[in-house]
Amino acid sequence: MAGAPASQANVPAATQADASATPEQPARRSGFLGRHRRAAATALGAVLVTGFVYYVVPQIAGLGPTLRRLRGGDLWWLGLGVLLEAVSYYGQILLFRGVFSRPGRPMGWRLSYEITLAGGAATKILATAGAGGIALTVWALRACGLPAAEVASGMVCYEILTYGVYMAALAIGGFGLWFGLFPGPAPLGLTLVPAVFATAVILIVCSMLFADEPVERFLLRRADASHGRVQSWLRRAAALPRSLQSGLRAAIAMVRRRDPSVLGAIIGWAFDIGALWASFQAFGHAPPAAVLVMGYYVGTLANTLPLPGGIGGVEGGMIGSFLAFGVNGSLAVLAVLAYRTISYWLPTVPGVIAYIRLRHQIRAHADGALTAGARPGMDAHPNGALASQKPVDATIAAADGSLPDVSHRQACAAEPSSLMRAVSSADDVGQ
Concatenate the DSSP letters of all residues of 235-295 into one string.
HHHTTHHHHHHHHHHHHHHHHHTT-GGGHHHHHHHHHHHHHHHHHHHHHS-PPPHHHHHHH
Over the Cα atoms of the chain, what is R_g? 22
What pLDDT is attached to residue 3? 42
Residues 33, 36, 41, 46, CA torsion sign = negative
pLDDT at 88 over 50: yes
β-bridge mates for residue 392, sequence order:
405
Tell me which of 374 and 191 has the higher pLDDT: 191
Tell me which of 387 and 316 has the higher pLDDT: 316
Nearest 5 degrees, angle CA 134-CA 128-CA 402? Answer: 40
What pLDDT is attached to residue 23? 42
Query: What does the pLDDT look like over 245-294, one tens digit per residue?
Result: 988 999 999 999 999 999 999 999 999 999 999 999 999 999 999 999 99
Q: Would you say 247 and 153 are in contact if contact means Cβ atoms under 8 Å apart?
A: yes
**Would 242 be classed as within a structural domain?**
yes
392 Cβ contact partners less than 8 Å away, ≥ 6 residues apart: 138, 139, 142, 148, 151, 403, 404, 405, 406, 411
Distance CA 124, CA 132 (A): 9
* Rounded average pLDDT over 205-211: 91
Reported as a pLDDT band with limits 50, 70 and 90, residue 89 is very high
**Would 23 be classed as within a structural domain?**
no
What share of the chain has pLDDT > 90, as a percent?
A: 34
User: Which structural domain range is residue 186 located in?
Assistant: 74-429
The full length of the chain comes to 431
What pLDDT is attached to residue 385? 30
Concatenate the DSSP letters of all residues of 346-408 into one string.
HHHHHHHHHHHHHHHHHHHHHTTSS-TTSSTTGGG--SS-GGGS--B-HHHHHHHS---B--H
**Would 3 be classed as within a structural domain?**
no
**Would 39 be classed as within a structural domain?**
no
Q: Would you say 279 and 335 are in contact if contact means Cβ atoms under 8 Å apart?
A: yes
Reported as a pLDDT band with limits 50, 70 and 90, residue 15 is very low
pLDDT at 222 over 50: yes
Q: Cβ–Cβ contacts within 10 Å for residue 420, how many?
A: 15
Distance CA 399, CA 420 (A): 12
Query: What does the pLDDT look like over 152-162, one tens digit per residue?
Result: 889 999 999 99
Half-sphere exposure in the Cβ direction for 192 (13 Å, CA): 8
Tell me which of 1 and 138 has the higher pLDDT: 138
What pLDDT is attached to residue 304? 62
**Would 79 be classed as within a structural domain?**
yes
Distance CA 365, CA 394 (A): 18
* Rounded average pLDDT over 359-374: 60
Reported as a pLDDT band with limits 50, 70 and 90, residue 212 is confident
Tell me which of 179 and 225 has the higher pLDDT: 179
What pLDDT is attached to residue 180? 94
* Rounded average pLDDT over 374-402: 36
DSSP state of 108: P
What pLDDT is attached to residue 54? 52
> How many domains, in total, are found in the chain?
1
Highest mean pLDDT among 76-85, 126-135, 363-372, 378-387: 76-85
pLDDT at 25 over 50: no
* Rounded average pLDDT over 205-216: 90
The closest alpha carbon to 352, from 132, 100, 109, belongs to 132
pLDDT at 33 over 90: no
Q: Would you say 296 and 339 are in contact if contact means Cβ atoms under 8 Å apart?
A: no
21 Cβ contact partners less than 8 Å away, ≥ 6 residues apart: 27, 227, 228, 229, 231, 232
When the pLDDT of each residue in the chain is averaged and rounded to a whole number, the result is: 74
Torsion of CA 192, 193, 194, 196, to 10 degrees: 80
Residues 334, 66, 282, 59, CA torsion sign = negative
**Would 17 be classed as within a structural domain?**
no
**Would 145 be classed as within a structural domain?**
yes
**Would 10 be classed as within a structural domain?**
no
DSSP state of 102: B
